[in-house]
Every structure is written in C-alpha cells, then in structure tokens.
Copies of this chain bind each other. A is one copy, B any other.
C-alpha cells in the first residue's frame, strides 16, 4: 500500500465534513477523498440492509480512488455497516462512534454520560451500546435534538435562537447530573461553543470528529501508512464527490473548511454495485 495514497471519508451528506476538517487539521500532510451521499440522505430512517448496500457502493467507489484507509464519518453507517465494510476491504476502516465512546467512558468521573444526536441516532441506542462495551457500569442519557441539523445547515451557528434551542434540549440532561456529553451528530461540532456555553465548564464535551481524527492518526502510524511529507503528493490534495446537488454542498463546505474548495464532482453512486 502506498502511504501517499489518500484517505477515503464518507457521510450521507455534509455532516462528515466536520470529520474531514479535523483530519485536515491534525494530519495536514494527508490527502483525502470525500464522498457525500446527498441524493440518498438521510440514512437515519433507512433499514440496516439499505444502509449496508449504500455504504458498500461508496466503499467500492472510494477503492477506485486508491484510498489507503476509510473513515465512516456518519453515525448511522458506522452503527449499521462498519463490520460489513471491514469485511469488504483489506485496509484500515474506522467509524465515528468508537473513539468518542472510548474517550467518554474514560473521562467521566461520576459515570453519567449524556449523548445528543438526531432522533435516529438516539433511538437506535448506538452510543449506549458502544459506551457499555467500554464500561458496563456507565449510565447513558440520550437526548434527540431534531432541530439542530437544520440550524447548522442554515448556518445560524452563533445565534441566540440556536442557543435557546440547545438550552431547551439540554434541560433534560442537566437533571441527570451528567459530567460528560458526547456531541453525537457530525453537525454538532459546529455548535461546540453553544453547547459549552449552555452546559457550563464542568461538563466535558466529547467531539467524535476530533477523537476520530486522532484515532486515524494512530492507526496510520501502526500500519506505517502515514504520508511521507517529503514526497510531493501526486494529484489534487483534497477531492470531493457527491451524488446530488454539488452547489449546495460546495456552499456548506466552503463555510466550514479552512480553505475554499473549487470543485465538487457529482457521480452516479448507484453504478458501484
């Protein structure tokens, strides 16, 4: 495997860009291919079989790009399809749940962990399952926050409306005396400062995007796959692909990434069966 090959990252839409952003920050020498399945989002309401089928199509597409590792930057695809993806390829594959759950279960002092996410993520109990696999004694309190994805996509990030909405959602978790909170939706890292303000300094915020990028760095080290920065990397450093509506994706990406992306290509993902 060529250590200068790109990392493949995918999500059902734009949310996974927060993970891509963390990878750019923490592993600035690495190349990346990002795929957002904007035509078929959301994944949270789809059956396990469908999420597996979609994920494997994307993995086959990413393989055509010669990726050296894959990051599943989508909570639903991680919960439903991670094992199937790992069985499909012989490169390192990591999801967005494991690293965050590991850190949260290690840092909590009172064993009371809150998780915020979409209705699909919370109802599935995916974080509870992962947290209990690291420490069966933790108490996990989930809270679905259906308005937050739209608020992020409207880019009302530093806004008193968003602050009020987050405060209402957090009320239930405050009563549970949590000392650790997982931002369990890929959109929520963009609301980190709002959650910090509402939750106060005594609650540890765990950001799965950050933890996943960290775990990816370690995994690449272990597999001796870190990019050799002395070598001039061939081709474009970051490439972006979507299954629908490239313009809207581009707008959102440019609002959150540390550099402006010029080109997003739309591909027919159904063709990778």
Among B40, B41, B154, B164, the residue within 8 A (CB) of A147 is: B154
Cα separation A146 to B45 with both chains bound (whole Å): 18
- Contacts from A to B (Cβ < 8 Å): 39-41, 45, 146-147, 150-151, 153-154, 161, 164-165, 244
Our pick among B45, B150, B164 for the contact of A150 (Cβ within 8 Å) is B150
Do the beta carbons of A150 and B147 come within 8 Å of each other? Answer: yes
Which residue on chain B has the smallest CB distance to residue A160? Answer: B164
Q: Which of B41, B45, B165 contacts A161 (CB 8 A)?
A: B165
Give A138 Cβ to nearest chain B Cβ, in Å. Answer: 27
Inside 8 A of A154's CB, which chain B residues have their CB? Answer: 146-147
B residues less than 8 Å from A165 (CB atoms): 161
Residues of chain B contacted by A40 (CB below 8 angstroms): 45
A40 to B40, CA, bound (A): 11
Q: Please, how many angstroms separate the alpha-carbon atoms of A151 and B154 in the complex?
A: 14
Q: In the complex, A41→B42 CA distance in Å?
A: 9
12 extra A-B contacts, CB within 8 A, seeds A39-B45, A146-B153, A146-B154:
A40-B45, A41-B45, A45-B244, A146-B150, A147-B147, A147-B150, A147-B151, A147-B154, A150-B150, A161-B161, A161-B164, A161-B165
Q: In this complex, what residue of B is CB-closest to A244?
A: B45
Residues of chain B with a CB closer than 8 A to A244's CB: 45
Collect the chain B residues with CB atoms within 8 Å of residue A39's CB: 45
A246 to chain B: closest CB distance in Å?
14
What's the nearest-Cβ distance from chain B to residue A87, in Å? 27
Shortest beta-carbon distance, A152 to chain B, in Å? 11
